[in-house]
């Protein structure tokens, strides 16, 4: 086959080697996916059976993409036998098959974050523990951390260091909490995400025959994004690849950005120590970006210590320098970026034009998207935000799915709690607790609503395996009263929620149809086992309007855009204020590296002198990372206050400023010491002495007004070292 000609020397060497363990260090934009897909094709051509190949990814999207690309080369008939998927989905698939051997049924539920949260709260309540010291997010974090390191509740209880740490954190009963939590999961016939991995590991470790069977089956093991594996994933991969160790891991230590989720960069750094005969392939040629972008990224990442040495290079043109712009406020930043987007989208004659699809705005935190949304809406620029709460995490969708879950696994208490309370059917917390303690039967005969509920679910159970998933879902949601309750809610959010549930039903319908085409009938349980691991933000777009992409840097990993804006380049934001330690700082730097290397042609960086955060205006400093990029690649500029008032130094009223006060002004009280929201209007006059909530005192130099969005800017004299230009802040008069 001539596809090997499409590979460079390093890529080709990596593709052709499969006699033993190999590590492919794939720099950003170096054709990593290409190597993986061609490698699979190559294996298939050289005698491997599709079913012998196990390929593990981190996202469903990555798995789908790789599968479709392999399919393209070897054809669907071969490709369909490949074992390809995320760690979690492959683990779930095996565990469902072997469930009875470890005390679960094959219909076990998979608990997502919301379920885990509510289960934990139940455990805490039962133990009479205070959620102030046992913060659920923290506790779940500790538990997850333990699981990814294969520390059982028993081991946890015997560990003195943990005991000491928990005592300091005022959580002495952590071992009990952990243990209760696990017991509850088991009795609910449920696993959380981490359990999928640990349970599979323990199962294979303890069942020699089964282990040998799977080891035999998976002759070749390939792992994508290896830098993001945690300890249990490392062990699983290692175990499955034994004894022949035909294992190939692909990754980039410079793009390891998930250590906060348990990923251990040492897995990739130590691979060659783990397998002493491992071959190392480095893909250093970048096919994505200009030399400037690659050079800038290199200069940045070289400030990190621990890494596998490599020098990424590009053979493309030098390209434009990275433009670094400083703005007075976050709003100005958003406006400036939107202005640039529009300019690039609809350029002057003779200049290159870019579709909105070719541009992306990347930020550190989701909350930064709002400012951009406002500006984009103002100018009617179509955009699309990735991330946030995904479809299947939405309350209304979870409520609907809870019915299916409960019918399939009637020990799933979290699902039950949801079903019972939506729609409201006169069963409250007290009754739910009683049911939990005494069981349904004890309560049902003396409680009408409960009896009715039980009978309803029983009725659904009869249907579950006799009708297809769609018919089932539709009837359950209708007969449970959920659809009717949702129709009754005429509020805009309510209508929105109904739409989401309708979309869920449509999705189930599509699922059933797809299965039907292959001649299978899909039951609701089939849908459930597929959907429980789809946290995936639905890719499919309603129309083909070109849209500007907005997303976090994390979400951007693996993607590329001709034009990339990395915004909010400020200290305590990027790098995050939570990342003060050297290790954390290095991870943030890698994150910035990921951000820059998304850009193919042009990269814009920006920061604002002050930023509205958590209801306050904060003065900011430029990100220290900006110093890490070699100055030769950067061009700096300072933008004026662009919000429509003219330059900062001019105090003359803007021609567009309204002559009369803006709406809401009369409502405002601004007595001494009273907190006011400048957003709603301003009771301030030029020359007022004011105290800002965070930064002390100053004189009001000028009050600007703007009619179109009811936002008021107030320019102050020096507060600390800076002049504040407040757009929406809490102020006190003094």
Which residues bind to DNA, rule: CB under 7 A? Answer: 58-62, 86, 88-89, 113, 117, 131-132, 135, 193, 225, 228, 257-258, 260-261, 263, 364-367, 370, 387, 390, 421, 424-431, 533-537, 551-552, 554-555, 557, 576, 578-579, 584, 614-615, 677, 679, 728
CA 688: distance to chain centroid?
45
Provide the β-strand partners of residue 384.
549
Which alpha helices (H) appear in 464-532, and where do they start and end? 469-479, 482-488, 492-517, 524-531
The residue length of the chain stands at 734
Residue 451 or 534 having the CB closest to DNA: 534
Output 450 or 473, the one with its CB closest to DNA.
450
Query: 101 CB contacts (<8 Å, ≥6 apart)?
Result: 203, 207, 210
Q: How far is the CB of 703 from DNA (least distance, A)?
A: 19
Reduced to 3 states (helix: H, G, I; strand: E, B; else coil), residue 683 is coil
Nearer to DNA by C-beta: 339 or 370?
Answer: 370
Of 37 and 267, the one with the shorter C-beta distance to DNA is 267
Interatomic CA distance for residues 632 and 318, integer angstroms = 12
Buried/exposed 218-234: b ≥16 CB within 10 Å, e otherwise = bbbbbbbbbbbbbbbbb
User: What is residue 573's DSSP assignment?
Assistant: B
- DSSP structural state of residue 98: H
Q: How far apart are CA 44 and CA 56, in angstroms?
A: 17
Q: Of the residues 39, 288, 498, 598, which is catalytic? A: 598
Least distance from DNA to the Cβ atom of residue 515, Å: 21
Please tell me the distance from the alpha carbon of residue 134 to that of residue 125, in angstroms, as a whole number: 11
- Helices 395-408 & 448-463, crossing angle to 10 degrees? 70
Catalytic residue among 12, 33, 71, 316: 33
In the bound state with DNA, the residue whose beta carbon lies nearer, of 139 and 555, is: 555
Q: Which one of the listed residues 52, 107, 115, 224 is annotated catalytic?
A: 224
- Helix, strand, coil shares of the chain as percentages rounded to 5? 50, 15, 35
- Whole-number minimum distance, CB 231 to DNA, in Å? 14
Q: Which is nearer to DNA, 258 or 704 (CB)?
A: 258
Annotation says 535 is catalytic: no
- State the minimum distance, in angstroms, from the CB of residue 436 to DNA: 13
Q: Smallest distance from the beta carbon of 463 to DNA, in angstroms?
A: 26
Give 578's DSSP letter.
Answer: T
The Cα 722–Cα 712 span in angstroms is: 19
Catalytic residue among 52, 107, 195, 225: 225
Active site residue 255: yes
Element of type H or E holding 45: helix 32-45
Residue nearer to DNA on the CB measure, 208 or 669: 669
580 given a catalytic annotation: no
Of 198, 255, 292, 610, the catalytic one is 255
Please check whether residue 590 is in contact with residue 401, taking contact to mean a CB–CB distance below 8 angstroms. no
Q: Which is nearer to DNA, 295 or 558 (CB)?
A: 558
Query: Does 225 qualify as catalytic in the annotation?
Result: yes
Q: Helix, strand or coil for residue 26?
A: strand
**Separation between Cα atoms, residue 607 and residue 212, nearest integer Å:** 56
Catalytic residues: 32-33, 224-225, 255, 598
């Amino acid at each position: 086959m001539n596809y090997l000609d499409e590979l460079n020397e390093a890529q080709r060497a990596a593709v052709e080697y499969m006699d033993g363990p190999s590590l492919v260090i794939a720099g950003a934009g170096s054709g990593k996916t290409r190597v993986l897909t061609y490698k699979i094709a190559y294996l298939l051509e050289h005698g491997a059976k599709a079913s012998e190949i196990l390929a593990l990814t981190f996202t469903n999207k990555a798995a789908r993409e790789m599968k479709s690309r392999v399919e393209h080369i070897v054809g669907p008939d071969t490709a369909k036998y490949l074992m390809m998927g995320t760690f979690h989905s492959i683990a779930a698939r095996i565990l469902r098959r072997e469930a009875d051997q470890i005390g679960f049924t094959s219909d076990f539920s998979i608990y997502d974050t919301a379920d885990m949260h509510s289960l934990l709260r139940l455990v805490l309540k039962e133990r009479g523990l205070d959620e102030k010291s046992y913060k659920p997010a923290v506790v779940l974090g500790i538990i997850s951390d333990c699981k990814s390191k294969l520390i059982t509740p028993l081991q946890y209880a015997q560990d003195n260091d943990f005991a000491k740490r928990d005592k300091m954190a005022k959580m002495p009963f952590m071992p009990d909490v952990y243990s209760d939590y696990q017991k509850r999961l088991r009795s609910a016939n449920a696993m959380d995400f981490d359990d999928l991995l640990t349970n599979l590991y323990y199962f294979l470790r303890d069942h020699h025959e089964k282990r040998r069977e799977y080891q035999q089956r998976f002759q070749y093991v390939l792992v994508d994004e290896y830098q993001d594996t945690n300890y249990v994933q490392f062990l699983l991969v290692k175990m499955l690849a034994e004894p022949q160790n035909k294992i190939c891991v692909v990754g980039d230590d410079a793009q390891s950005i998930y250590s906060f989720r348990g990923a251990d960069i040492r897995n990739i750094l130590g691979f060659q120590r783990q397998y002493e005969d491992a071959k190392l392939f480095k893909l250093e040629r970048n096919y994505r970006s200009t030399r400037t972008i690659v050079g800038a990224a290199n200069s940045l990442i070289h400030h990190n210590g621990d890494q596998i040495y490599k020098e990424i290079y590009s053979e493309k043109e030098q390209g434009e320098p990275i433009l670094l712009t400083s703005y007075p406020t976050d709003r100005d930043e958003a406006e400036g970026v939107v202005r640039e987007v529009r300019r690039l989208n609809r350029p002057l004659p003779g200049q290159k034009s870019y579709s909105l699809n070719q541009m992306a705005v990347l930020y550190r935190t989701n909350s930064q998207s709002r400012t951009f949304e406002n500006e984009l809406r103002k100018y009617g620029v179509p955009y699309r935000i990735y991330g946030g709460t995904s479809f299947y995490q939405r309350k209304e969708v979870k409520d609907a799915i809870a019915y299916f879950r409960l019918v399939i696994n009637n020990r799933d208490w979290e699902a039950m709690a949801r079903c019972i309370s939506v729609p409201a059917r006169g069963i409250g917390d007290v009754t739910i607790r009683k049911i939990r303690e005494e069981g349904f039967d004890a309560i049902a005969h003396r409680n009408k609503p409960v009896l009715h509920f039980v009978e309803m679910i029983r009725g659904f159970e009869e249907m579950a395996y006799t009708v297809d998933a769609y018919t089932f879902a539709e009837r359950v949601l209708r007969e449970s009263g959920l659809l009717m309750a949702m129709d009754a809610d005429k509020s805009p959010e309510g209508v929105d929620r109904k739409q989401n549930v309708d979309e869920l039903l449509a999705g189930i319908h599509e699922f059933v149809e797809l299965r039907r085409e292959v001649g299978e009938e899909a039951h609701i349980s089939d849908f459930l086992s597929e959907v429980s691991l789809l946290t995936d933000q639905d890719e499919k777009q309603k129309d083909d309007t070109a849209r500007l992409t907005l997303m976090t840097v994390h979400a951007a990993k693996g993607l590329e855009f001709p034009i990339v804006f990395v915004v909010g380049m400020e200290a305590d934001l990027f790098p995050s204020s939570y990342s003060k330690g050297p290790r954390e700082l290095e991870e943030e730097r890698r994150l910035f590296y990921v951000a820059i290397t998304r850009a193919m042609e042009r990269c814009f960086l920006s920061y604002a002198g002050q930023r509205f955060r958590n209801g306050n205006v904060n003065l900011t400093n430029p990100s220290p990372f900006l110093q890490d990029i070699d100055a030769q690649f950067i061009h700096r500029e300072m933008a004026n206050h662009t919000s429509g008032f003219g330059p900062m130094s001019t105090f003359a009223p803007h021609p567009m400023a309204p002559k009369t006060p803006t709406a809401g002004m009369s409502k405002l009280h601004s007595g001494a010491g009273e907190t006011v929201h400048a957003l709603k209007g301003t009771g301030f006059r030029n020359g007022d002495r004011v105290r800002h909530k965070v930064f002390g005192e100053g004189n009001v130099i000028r009050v600007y007004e703007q009619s179109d969005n009811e936002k008021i800017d107030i320019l102050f004299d020096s507060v600390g070292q800076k002049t504040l230009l407040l757009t929406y802040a809490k102020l006190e008069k003094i």
